[in-house]
């Protein structure tokens, strides 16, 4: 149900707590009730059912009921401690009473509870009651003084949002946070993710002004696509930091028993986190530390970092600390170095890091910092200051704040020594560009996490296309591959032989070693006569993966006699293995092999298909060095995958064509994208010989899950199937296509060219500028949820955007709102009509039942325009019409003049 009704879960009008012995001060019910009452929440009721109170009840009589329906004004949120067997009926009752949220604190106790869970979820969806749990320990929202939880450690107000499947993890983090003075905007125990899951909460909290950073403790993810989509969307505007339990096989087994759901491979989680823009950490303490640093730091404009200090030793320690985190100190240019030397005492200072000696006062520090800022050679400066009676750091910080903001440079100060007289002023000095630390280690970590987030943001822009233009295969090849797959499935052939696998691979232009089939001695000899020696003979069976293990491959056959003996040997092997017949293949022997590469795809239990790459050969089967990545791929992502393997080191020793390997990876990934029936694909091995790449053997297995591409992927590709080349009324060629992150500059130019009227119709106001955060939301959309298509023309060799049409999904109401605008210079060109036609086509193709829009009453031309597409006015409020189009009905209409309604970016 997405984020539907989640706002009411965090701000209920009243709360009811249901469970036995709810009046006992030692019970969980009393703990939760007491938390609610202590923070002064709205009306709180206890519902004890048929359970008799065994002690003197401390709860007021007007707040204590036997039945939920007996409460005069039904609550909007209910917390239950009842066993799962009783909760299906409770969900029905909540639905009838208008309860919008139900927190279930109990967990599964028997196999029968699996059935209860399914029934609870089914009924909750029917009544649109949101479920938090099972095994949820509740919610804390410190700023609202709302604590409906079982935690006995209070949470300080802050801007960190903590989401965890484990209540015990939250307890430990609350304790550590209290010791460190770290505050939270939200603390949420998600439990078993039966309804409300990570994706929902990240979506909900991502756009909250109270939240600056989201912390996650995960064991598994039930809806991977929703999770990835939410993270990619939110990580662009605020950092997400996660710790993932279950790195080991034993850990994953425990998670499966604990949650009832399997957990995916840790390395697949690792690559998924990279793709989603998530910063991964290793332990609970680091999770808190990373979050605390990220909420107090601005994202640097780049990765260039420098050090300015009045202590050589401390400068070295800072450089060492940064190096340990993989951060290099940026060297000064010759010009800047010469200017800085003027302020360094002879024989007492140095450059890289800049050491201005121990007698420096705040004036000398300021002059050096001025030079660094003016040079624009750094994005972050660590300023290590050893305090003394001649050095007052306050004036320096105050004077540099505005200059640092103008230069877009982060200043991280480290005050060491007697700081007692300055500590009271630190809070007022910290801002997004200025941070004051009291240790080298703290400053290093601050820079480390800020740079990690900067790197994540730069990688989020990479969105591979669904149909890669880097793969020169034709539609006929795709159709042939699909027909072959369909035939194999019809014949229940799920394990393809080597020959069948290579046939499929060849359709995608992969460099397979051609093979010929033969089934008798006579046929083998005849085939061999048409080929050049040396040859390789293989026993072709889907039952044999590693042929060398069964002696089912014969190499270096150099004569007709060797071929005949080979047929005899493999016929005996076939009988030993239990094959009904010996199907054989012949192929040319690949000699002078430099490298064997292990490449292919497998399916993860949570994330679906992933690509693997590593060194091949027998050694790789013993000690694997595989790296993995989620499809789809482009050359950029393929290059990054290669860079994480030992193949880069191999390339340095004996070079090979890295670009060709990138091409092969992209082709394999495209095959995985196109054919959701592929369960596993193994090129074992892909060899490099005589500067050629050759697939000498392959194995493909199938599994038809009834899923259509690209819905089997956990990451949604750029939908270039929705690119259309059209012509405007004056004959100008126009490309209608989905928007991309790199369209931001063209979008700024387009909006800047709007007239006041167009601007007013677009924004319902005369706002002049679009903030960088808004532009991120405009151009870096989630292709799985939203649609945004632009009209692009070329003028004087430059591509310009002349219009945009958007379809924005509102998960709380499950509606889609469209909004179209065309720049003033191109209104009346037909661009608006084309944008509307294509948006309607895309919406229908995606199965969207209807769309709506908002139009100002005085936008007469827009009202004429939308009537031609079949829109109807359904509501009118003040000066705004709400229009709606049912896409399940036939629409017809004539071409009309486009105009500029309100736009939702």
Pick 55 or 682 by higher pLDDT. Answer: 682
The reported pLDDT for the residue numbered 170 is 96
Alpha-carbon distance 719 to 731, whole Å? 26
Exposure class string for 131-141: b at 16+ Cβ within 10 A, else e: bbbbbbbbbbb
Task: Tell whether the model's pLDDT for residue 469 goes beyond 70.
Answer: no
Pick 538 or 902 by higher pLDDT. Answer: 538
Distance, C-alpha 803 to centroid of its chain: 29
The reported pLDDT for the residue numbered 23 is 53
The reported pLDDT for the residue numbered 262 is 81
pLDDT band at 681 (very low <50, low <70, confident <90, very high): very high
Average model confidence (pLDDT) across the chain? 87
pLDDT band at 269 (very low <50, low <70, confident <90, very high): very high
Q: For the beta carbon of residue 597, count every other beta carbon within 10 angstroms.
A: 24
For residue 353, what are the CA distances in angstroms to 310, 323, 380, 705?
A: 10, 13, 13, 59
Residues 6+ apart with CB under 8 A from 424: none
Which DSSP category does 795 fall into? Answer: E
CA proximity to 159, closest of 279, 291, 71: 291
Tokens, residue 446: 């601050």
The reported pLDDT for the residue numbered 40 is 55
The reported pLDDT for the residue numbered 764 is 47
Cis bond upstream, residue 477 (ω within 30) = no
Helix 635-643 vs helix 658-674: angle between axes, to the nearest 10 degrees?
120
Residues 6+ apart with CB under 8 A from 640: 629
Quick: pLDDT tens for 447-463. Answer: 999 999 999 887 776 56
Helix 658-674 vs helix 475-490: angle between axes, to the nearest 10 degrees?
50
Q: For residue 644, how many C-alpha atoms fall within 13 Å in the half-sphere facing its CB? A: 16
Alpha-carbon distance 60 to 63, whole Å? 5
Cβ 311 vs Cβ 386: under 8 Å: yes
Of 148-162, 730-744, 768-782, where does mean pLDDT reach its minimum?
768-782
Pick 366 or 352 by higher pLDDT. Answer: 366
pTM of the model: 0.85
Quick: pLDDT tens for 9-64. Answer: 888 989 999 986 545 566 787 788 788 876 555 688 888 876 655 555 566 777 88
CA dihedral 165, 169, 173, 176 (to 10 degrees): 180
Across 351-356, average pLDDT: 83
pLDDT band at 218 (very low <50, low <70, confident <90, very high): very high
Across 169-175, average pLDDT: 95
Cβ 538 vs Cβ 553: under 8 Å: yes
CA proximity to 174, closest of 194, 188, 195, 192: 188
The reported pLDDT for the residue numbered 549 is 74
Tokens, residue 491: 């014949």
The reported pLDDT for the residue numbered 766 is 46
Task: Tell whether the model's pLDDT for residue 495 goes beyond 70.
Answer: yes
Of 240-244, 373-377, 677-681, 810-814, where does mean pLDDT reach its minimum?
810-814
Q: Which run of H or of E encompasses 267?
A: helix 266-276
The reported pLDDT for the residue numbered 622 is 59
User: Looking at beta carbons, which pairs linking 543-551 to residues 24 or more positions away fall under 8 Å?
Assistant: 543/495, 543/577, 543/579, 544/577, 545/682, 545/684, 545/699, 546/621, 546/684, 547/498, 547/697, 550/577
Task: Tell whether the model's pLDDT for residue 888 goes beyond 90.
Answer: no
Of 203-217, 458-472, 512-526, where does mean pLDDT reach its minimum?
458-472
Q: In what order do the strands lie in the sheet with 240-244?
A: 146-149, 138-141, 184-189, 157-164, 213-218, 240-244, 279-280
SS3 readout for 470-539: CCCCCHHHHHHHHHHHHHHHHCCCCECCHHHHHHHHHHCCCCECCEEEECCHHHHHHHHHCCCCCEEEEE
Alpha-carbon distance 480 to 477, whole Å? 5
Rg of the chain over Cα atoms, rounded to whole angstroms, equals 32
CA proximity to 694, closest of 703, 702, 685: 685
- Looking at 846-897, list the stretches that DSSP marks H as alpha helix, in order from N- to C-terminal side: 860-867
CA proximity to 304, closest of 393, 407, 204, 227: 407
CA proximity to 559, closest of 540, 577, 537: 537
Q: In what order do the strands lie in the sheet with 733-738?
A: 724-727, 733-738, 787-795, 798-810, 815-822, 850-856, 880-886, 872-877
Alpha-carbon distance 383 to 386, whole Å? 10
Task: Tell whether the model's pLDDT for residue 894 goes beyond 60.
Answer: no
pLDDT band at 896 (very low <50, low <70, confident <90, very high): very low
Task: Tell whether the model's pLDDT for residue 2 goes beyond 90.
Answer: no
Tokens, residue 8: 């009411």
The reported pLDDT for the residue numbered 122 is 95
Residues 6+ apart with CB under 8 A from 139: 9, 10, 103, 132, 146, 147, 148, 149, 186, 187, 188, 189
Q: Which run of H or of E encompasses 792?
A: strand 787-795
Pick 743 or 770 by higher pLDDT. Answer: 743
Task: Tell whether the model's pLDDT for residue 903 goes beyond 60.
Answer: no
Kindly give the pairing relationship between strand 724-727 and strand 434-437.
unpaired
Q: Which run of H or of E encompasses 658?
A: helix 658-674
Cis bond upstream, residue 601 (ω within 30) = no
Tokens, residue 345: 């005492």
Alpha-carbon distance 707 to 688, whole Å? 35
Concatenated DSSP letters of 718-765: B-GGG-EEEE-TTS-EEEEEE--GGGHHHHHHHHHT--HHHHHHHHSS
Residue 794 main-chain phi, psi, to 5 deg: -115, 130
pLDDT band at 900 (very low <50, low <70, confident <90, very high): very low
Cβ 130 vs Cβ 181: under 8 Å: no
Across 381-409, average pLDDT: 90
Exposure class string for 550-563: b at 16+ Cβ within 10 A, else e: bebbbeebeeeebb
CA proximity to 687, closest of 622, 737, 620, 637: 620
Helices and strands counted in the chain (H then E): 29, 36
Q: For the beta carbon of residue 102, count every other beta carbon within 10 angstroms.
A: 26
Bridge partners, 599 (sequence order): 613, 683
For residue 565, what are the CA distances in angstroms to 536, 544, 546, 584?
A: 13, 21, 22, 13
Across 351-375, average pLDDT: 87
Quick: pLDDT tens for 801-859. Answer: 999 999 988 766 778 999 898 888 899 999 999 999 999 999 999 999 999 998 888 88
The reported pLDDT for the residue numbered 666 is 93
pLDDT band at 763 (very low <50, low <70, confident <90, very high): low
Which DSSP category does 888 fall into? Answer: T
Alpha-carbon distance 708 to 726, whole Å? 28
Residues 6+ apart with CB under 8 A from 326: none
Opening angle at CA 456, ends 187 and 140, nearest 5: 5
């Amino acid at each position: 149900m997405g984020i539907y009704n989640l706002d009411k879960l965090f701000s209920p009008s009243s709360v009811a707590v249901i469970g036995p012995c709810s009046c006992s001060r030692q019970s969980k019910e009393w703990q939760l009730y007491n938390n609610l009452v202590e923070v002064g929440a709205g009306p709180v009721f206890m519902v004890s059912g048929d359970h008799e109170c065994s002690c003197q009840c401390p709860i007021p009589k007007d707040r204590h009921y036997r039945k939920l329906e007996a409460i005069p004004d039904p609550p909007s949120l209910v917390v239950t401690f009842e066993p799962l067997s009783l909760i299906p009926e409770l969900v029905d009752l909540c639905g009838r009473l208008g309860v919008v949220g139900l927190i279930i604190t109990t967990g599964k106790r028997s196999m029968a509870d699996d059935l209860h869970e399914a029934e609870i979820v089914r009924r909750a969806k029917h009544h649109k009651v949101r479920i938090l749990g099972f095994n949820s320990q509740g919610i804390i929202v410190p700023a609202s003084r709302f604590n409906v939880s079982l935690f006995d450690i209070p949470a300080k107000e802050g801007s960190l949002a903590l989401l965890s499947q484990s209540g015990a993890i939250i307890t430990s983090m609350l304790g550590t946070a209290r010791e460190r003075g770290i505050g939270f905007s939200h603390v949420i125990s998600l439990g078993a993710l039966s309804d409300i899951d990570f994706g929902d909460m990240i979506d909900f909290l991502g756009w909250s002004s109270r939240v600056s950073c989201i912390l996650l403790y995960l064991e598994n993810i039930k809806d991977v696509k929703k999770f990835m989509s939410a993270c990619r969307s939110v990580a662009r505007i605020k950092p997400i930091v996660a710790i993932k339990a279950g790195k080991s096989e034993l850990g994953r087994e425990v998670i499966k028993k604990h949650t009832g759901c399997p957990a995916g491979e840790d390395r697949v989680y690792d690559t998924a986190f990279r793709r989603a823009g998530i910063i991964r950490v290793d332990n609970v303490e680091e999770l808190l530390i990373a979050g605390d640093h990220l909420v107090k730091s601005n994202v640097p404009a780049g990765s260039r970092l420098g050090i300015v200090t009045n202590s050589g030793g401390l400068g070295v320690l800072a450089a060492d600390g940064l190096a340990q985190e993989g951060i290099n100190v940026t060297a000064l240019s010759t010009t800047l170095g010469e200017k800085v030397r003027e302020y360094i005492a002879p024989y007492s200072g140095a450059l890289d890091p800049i050491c201005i000696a121990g007698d420096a006062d705040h004036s000398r520090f300021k002059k050096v910092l001025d030079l660094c800022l003016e040079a624009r050679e750094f994005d972050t400066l660590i300023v290590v200051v050893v305090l003394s009676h001649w050095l007052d750091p306050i004036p320096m910080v105050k004077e540099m704040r505005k200059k640092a903001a103008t230069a877009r440079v982060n200043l991280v100060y480290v005050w060491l020594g007697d700081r007692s007289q300055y500590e009271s002023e630190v809070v007022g000095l910290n801002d997004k560009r200025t941070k004051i630390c009291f240790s080298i280690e703290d400053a290093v970590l601050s820079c480390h996490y800020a740079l990690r987030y900067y790197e994540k943001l730069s990688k989020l822009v990479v969105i591979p296309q669904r149909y890669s233009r880097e793969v020169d295969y034709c539609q006929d090849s795709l159709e042939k591959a699909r027909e072959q797959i369909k035939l194999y499935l019809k014949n229940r052939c799920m394990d393809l032989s080597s020959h069948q696998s290579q046939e499929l691979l060849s359709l995608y232009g992969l460099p397979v070693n051609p093979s010929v089939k033969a089934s008798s001695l006579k046929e083998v000899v005849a085939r061999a006569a048409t080929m050049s020696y040396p040859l390789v003979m293989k026993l072709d069976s889907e039952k044999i993966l590693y042929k060398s293990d069964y002696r089912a491959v014969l190499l270096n056959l150099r004569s007709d006699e060797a071929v005949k003996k080979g047929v005899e040997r493999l016929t005996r092997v076939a009988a030993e293995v239990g094959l009904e017949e010996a199907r054989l293949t012949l192929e040319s022997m690949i000699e002078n092999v430099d490298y064997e590469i292990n490449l292919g795809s497998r399916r993860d239990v949570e994330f679906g298909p992933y690509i693997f790459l590593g060194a091949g050969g027998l050694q790789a089967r013993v000690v694997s060095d595989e790296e993995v990545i989620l499809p789809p791929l482009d050359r950029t992502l393929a290059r990054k995958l290669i860079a994480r393997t030992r193949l880069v080191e191999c390339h340095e020793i004996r070079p090979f064509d890295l670009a060709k390997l990138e091409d092969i990876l992209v082709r394999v990934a495209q095959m995985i994208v196109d054919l959701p029936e592929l369960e596993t694909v193994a090129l074992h091995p892909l060899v490099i010989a005589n500067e050629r790449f050759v697939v000498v053997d392959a194995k493909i297995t199938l599994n038809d899950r009834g899923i259509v591409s690209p819905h089997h992927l956990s990451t949604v590709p750029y939908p270039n199937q929705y690119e259309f080349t059209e012509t405007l009324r004056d004959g100008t060629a126009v490309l209608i296509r989905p928007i991309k992150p790199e369209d931001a500059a063209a979008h700024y130019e387009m909006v800047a060219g709007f007239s006041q009227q167009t601007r007013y119709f677009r924004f319902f106001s005369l706002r002049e500028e679009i903030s960088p955060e808004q532009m991120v939301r405009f151009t870096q959309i989630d292709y799985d949820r939203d649609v945004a298509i632009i009209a692009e023309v070329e003028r004087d060799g430059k591509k310009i955007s002349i219009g945009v049409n958007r379809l924005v999904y509102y998960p709380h109401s499950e509606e889609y709102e469209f909004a179209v605008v065309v720049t003033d210079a191109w209104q009346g060109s037909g661009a608006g009509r084309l944008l509307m036609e294509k948006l309607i086509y895309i919406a229908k193709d995606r199965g969207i039942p209807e769309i709506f829009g908002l139009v100002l009453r005085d936008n007469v031309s827009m009202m004429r325009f939308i009537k031609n597409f079949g829109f109807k006015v359904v509501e009118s409020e003040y000066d705004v019409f709400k229009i709606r189009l049912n896409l399940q009905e036939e629409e017809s209409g004539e071409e009309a003049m486009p105009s500029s309604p309100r736009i939702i970016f």
